[in-house]
Amino acid sequence: MATQEITYREAAREALRAALHNDERVFLMGEDVGRYGGPYAVSLGLLEEFGPDRIRDTPLSESAFVGAGIGAALGGMRPIVEIMTVNFSLLAADQIINTAATYLHMSGGQFNVPLVIRMATGAGFQLAAQHSHSLEGWYAHIPGLKIVTPATLEDVRGMLPTALADPDPVLIFEHLALYNRKGQLVEDAGPVDIDRARVRRQGTAVSLITYGNSLWKCIEAAEQLAGEGIDAEVVDLRSLRPLDDQTIMASVRKTRRAVIVDEGWRSGSLSAEIAARIHEQAFYELDAPVVRLCSEEVPIPYAKHLEEAALPQAEKIVRAVRELLGT
């Protein structure tokens, strides 16, 4: 099967292009998605290809254009709403949480909201505290939403068509640090599931459970640990709501140890939810307490050395595993 070298950004663009070609109900809307080509150049060239009815630049009002997307979804369209960064999604939290997530329930099952919202998340590019936080774990708290975090080229290409086919709201979180990542992708890559985790590296000594850009830090850490004779398994959550308990527990039962790596803050985090589920479902299979490695409890700093220090890094993961194993 033929493959092509492509970036994460280009794979995301190909997903958008295919969706627009395949379904006339699909359109993209958001800040700077048209003439500018998207805040991260994901939609570059799509305005020229599909025109302003399908690629819609919006005013700088997240509440307004997310609300418009909800209305379009209720009216039979398949909108893809792009929010520049997860921090700015808080300006549309009422629309997302109080309307999109609740409409099916509050209508007695009469009205679905087939809305897809894409947004950038995460830190690592000195964009400071108002553009760098990882708040996807907050949205994973909300019934009525599906939360997915593509970390690979295959997933960023394949999750969008699956999300568009879903009758309920799906939020896709794309980590900033992944857009320039290169890799091989089959030329006819298609839809993938959006509700199952995947084991990206098999291992027997410890389970590294993570998602998004932290996946690649965990893989780097696992390779370093392998040189020390420690065989780490790496689990890519992919979906934060629903969480794939089956895959998580199968890995933990095999390795008997778990380190959860989460770029969100530790207090009230997604990592806490996963740790609780492991203790509820696999407590007697554990040989050691679950370890959580999260961002420092500070607004993400602007200074490069402080930003790096605030985030989970491969060397921190290696150190946490050594401490867990007592090596």
* Gap between the Cα atoms of 43 and 12, Å rounded: 9
Same domain, 64 and 171: yes
pLDDT tens for residues 6-49? 999 999 999 999 999 999 999 999 999 999 999 999 999 999 99
The tally of domains found in the chain comes to 2
Is residue 315 part of the annotated active site? The answer reads: no
Q: Both 136 and 274 in a single domain?
A: no
Active site residue 131: yes
Q: Which of 302, 255, 294 is nearest to 274 (CA)?
A: 294
pLDDT tens-digit map of 216-274: 999 999 999 999 999 999 999 999 999 999 999 999 999 999 999 999 999 999 999 99
> What confidence tens digit (pLDDT) does each residue in 290-305 have?
999 999 999 999 999 9
Give the CATH number, domain containing residue 92.
3.40.50.970
Question: Are 140 and 278 contained in the same domain?
Answer: no
- Domain range for 103: 3-186
* Of 10, 14, 31, 131, catalytic: 131
Q: Which of 10, 14, 62, 174 is catalytic?
A: 62
191 is a domain residue: no
Strand partners, 120: 174
Domain boundary (124, 153, 186) is at 186
